[in-house]
Structure formats: C-alpha cells, structure tokens
C-alpha cells in the first residue's frame, strides 16, 4: 500500500507581480506539509512559481494550474481528455456533452504509476455550471478507470458544496466518491463555503482523508484555505 500526501490550494491570481512576502509565505506553508505533490489553481500565465500549466490552449489571459513535488520543483501536468458517459447524459443537463464547452478551464492530470492518477480542476464559478462539470468528471472517471488503472483522485476548487453535488441528476452515487474537510475552505462575503475537496474511486474512498489547513488570508492573499489530503492506494 502507498499513502500519497497531496496539497491543493487556490492561490487567487498568483503571478509575476505578486510581492515576495506573499510568495515566501506560500512556499513556507507548502514545504511544512511535507506533501508528495502540491497542486494549485488561479496562477496567471506569467507566474514564476510554480510553472503555469495552460489547460485551454495558449491564451495568455487564462488562469492556470501548477504542481510542485516534495522538493519544490515544478512538475509537468498533462491534459485530461474527459468524454461524456451514459451516466452523465442521463441527467439531461442543458449545454450538451462537450466538456470543453461546459468548462471554462481544462483538466490537469498527473499519472503516479501503480494504476493511480490525480486530476486537478477549477470548476466554473456558477453553481449550476459547476454541478455539470463536476458530475461530468465524476461519471467519466468512474467509468474510465478500469482494472488496469483503477485508482483516481480528483481535487480542486469545485465551486459547489458537497451536499449540493450529492443531489446531481447524473446516474452516479456521489456519496461513495466525495471526501471533504470538516471546515469550510472558501472565505465568502456572506458565508464561508465548502468548495475545495476531493472525489475518489470507490476502492480508495474509505481510506482517504481531507483536512483544511490554517493560513492567514492577509499574508497569503487568497480567499481559499489549502486542503491536505492523504490518499492510500492498495
């Protein structure tokens, strides 16, 4: 068995012009977790740390993903290519079954070996759009990951709370895939929200934990808390 230690954090437009104090504070949080891999979203395309991953073409104005390993070195992500499944189509969501049209950002992917794959997504901000995108990804991953590569972890800023995602009309039991922290992760204007959490395959779900880490909104400059995940793969 292997337990992967994973961090995810929405860094709220971290870019080339971000001041050094904020960059240093973020690196300190990341290094202290001891995570095997740390994933980020909302990097600008001009960010210097980590190397931005452009998930939708070469548009320099898009918000990007990033990933670093336990030594702080940037890790190259790949483009995930999700396709519509009968389970997703059963919901009859408006907008069709083309993922690129439903999601304003693409899907980042990191294959770990041993049949394990991590995906990172920053879902659309609107609740209804986020419902479609996250239902799409859950159905696709559940259908695609067979005996040769059965283990998957989807993490990110889902922009929809777990209780709401569980009500999806798609033909999938989300309760067997969701793992969320016990404290909200997004600092809202009126109320804090549980927006950052993970979806897993059914095999690893019971042995997956997800916790919110403490941080200073003023110092770190983000309206999201980082999450720390321990994912045990057989």
**Domain chopping of the chain, boundaries:** 2-233
Percent share of the chain, pLDDT over 70: 100
**pTM for the complete prediction?**
0.96
* pLDDT score at 217: 73
- pLDDT under 50 in the chain at which residues? none
SS3 140: helix
By the 10 Å C-beta count (0-12 exposed, 13-18 middle, 19+ buried), 21 is classed as exposed
β-strand pairing of 2-14 with 37-43: parallel
**The CATH fold of domain 2-233:** Deoxyribonuclease I; Chain A (3.60.10)
CA 232 to chain centre: 17
| Residues making up the chain, counted from first to last | 234
Which of 110, 122, 127 minimizes the C-alpha distance to 68?
110
* pLDDT score at 17: 86
């Amino acid at each position: 068995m292997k337990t992967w230690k994973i961090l995810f954090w929405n860094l709220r437009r971290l870019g080339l012009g971000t001041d050094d104090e904020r960059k240093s504070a973020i690196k300190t949080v990341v290094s202290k977790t001891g995570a095997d891999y740390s994933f980020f979203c909302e990097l600008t395309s001009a960010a210097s740390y980590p190397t931005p991953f452009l998930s939708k073409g070469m548009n320099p104005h898009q918000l990007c993903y990033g990933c670093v390993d336990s030594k702080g070195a940037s890790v190259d992500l790949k483009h995930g290519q999700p396709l519509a499944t009968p389970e997703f189509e059963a919901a009859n969501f408006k907008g069709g079954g083309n993922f690129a049209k439903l999601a304003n950002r693409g899907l980042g992917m990191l294959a770990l070996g041993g049949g394990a794959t991590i995906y990172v997504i920053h879902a659309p901000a609107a609740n209804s759009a986020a419902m479609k995108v996250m239902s799409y990804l859950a159905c696709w991953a559940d259908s695609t990951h067979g005996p040769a590569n059965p283990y998957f972890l989807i993490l990110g800023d889902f922009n929809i709370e777990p209780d709401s995602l569980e009500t999806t009309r798609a033909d999938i039991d989300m309760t067997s895939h969701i793992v969320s922290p016990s404290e909200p992760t997004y600092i809202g204007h009126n109320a804090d929200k549980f927006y950052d959490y993970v979806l897993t395959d059914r095999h690893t779900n019971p042995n997956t934990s997800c916790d919110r880490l403490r941080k200073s909104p003023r110092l770190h400059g983000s309206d999201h808390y980082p999450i720390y995940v321990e994912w045990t793969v057989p």
